[in-house]
């Protein structure tokens, strides 16, 4: 073996190592992606349900934009006398807003009720800032947007433009609801 051939051996090895250094991660990533064995993120990270397609409620109900101008609306729909279940949901709604901290001024709580309005004393003492609204057709519209697998009686989140965005079950931990709302606030450039 000549001296020139001996020098080519280590040079070729170095070239192959450099190529492996650059192509190796690319080939590994392609294998992980195509084999399905990758570290894919969870399918979802939200606790509430995104309502798709997004519905623009302000076209049919322009008054929704006047309830909390420029604010997100957390709407609780309840058609009946506001008994313990209703009061617990309104309490959770209030606590959720308070847990937003500095962002709580971006959210307005709305109680979309049927024939029976919230007791005036209860509203003044325990639910200051709650906006009671009586609009049966809006309540029916909101309830009709829910897929059949979701229970009725939860909270709807409406963005400042009047788009129906999310639904939260009434038994959801308020901290989880706040996580989703804060995440939307962080991503949002409106309200």
Q: Considering only the top CATH level, what class is 49-187?
A: alpha beta
Integer CA distances (angstroms), 143 to 3, 16, 17, in order? 84, 63, 62
Q: Return the closest-CA partner of residue 89 out of 99, 75, 103.
A: 75
Q: What is the pLDDT of residue 179?
A: 92
Query: pLDDT for 45-68, tens place per residue?
Result: 788 888 888 889 888 888 888 888
Local confidence band at 76 (pLDDT 50, 70, 90 cut-offs): very high
Q: What is the pLDDT of residue 2?
A: 64
Query: pLDDT for 128-160, tens place per residue?
Result: 778 888 888 888 888 888 888 888 888 999 999
Query: pLDDT for 89-124, tens place per residue?
Result: 888 999 999 999 999 999 999 988 877 666 555 555
Q: What is the pLDDT of residue 72?
A: 94
Tokens of 79: 């058609």
Q: Return the closest-CA partner of residue 133 out of 68, 58, 55.
A: 68
If you average pLDDT over residues 157-167, what whole number do you get?
Answer: 92
If you average pLDDT over residues 20-43, what whole number do you get?
Answer: 74
| Structural contact between residues 94 and 127, judged by C-beta atoms closer than 8 angstroms | yes
Residue 157 makes CB contacts below 8 A (sequence gap 6+) with 48, 72, 73, 74, 75, 164, 165, 166, 167, 168, 180, 181, 184
């Amino acid at each position: 073996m000549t001296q020139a051939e001996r020098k080519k051996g280590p040079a070729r090895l170095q070239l192959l190592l450099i190529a492996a250094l650059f192509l190796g991660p690319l080939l590994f990533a392609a294998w992980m992606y195509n084999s399905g064995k990758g570290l894919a993120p969870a399918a979802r990270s939200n606790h509430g349900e995104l309502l798709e397609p997004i519905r623009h409620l302000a076209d049919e109900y322009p008054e929704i934009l006047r309830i909390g101008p420029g604010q997100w609306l957390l709407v609780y729909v309840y058609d009946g006398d506001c008994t313990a279940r209703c009061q617990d949901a309104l309490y959770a709604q209030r606590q959720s807003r308070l847990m937003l901290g500095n962002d709580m001024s971006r959210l307005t709580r709305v109680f979309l009720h049927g024939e029976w309005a919230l007791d005036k004393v209860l509203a003044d003492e325990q639910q200051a800032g709650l906006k009671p609204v009586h609009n049966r057709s809006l309540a029916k519209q909101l309830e009709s947007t829910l897929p059949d697998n979701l229970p009725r009686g939860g909270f709807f989140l409406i963005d400042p433009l009047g788009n129906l965005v999310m639904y939260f079950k009434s038994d959801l931990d308020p901290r989880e609801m706040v996580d989703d709302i804060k995440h939307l606030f962080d991503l949002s450039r409106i309200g």
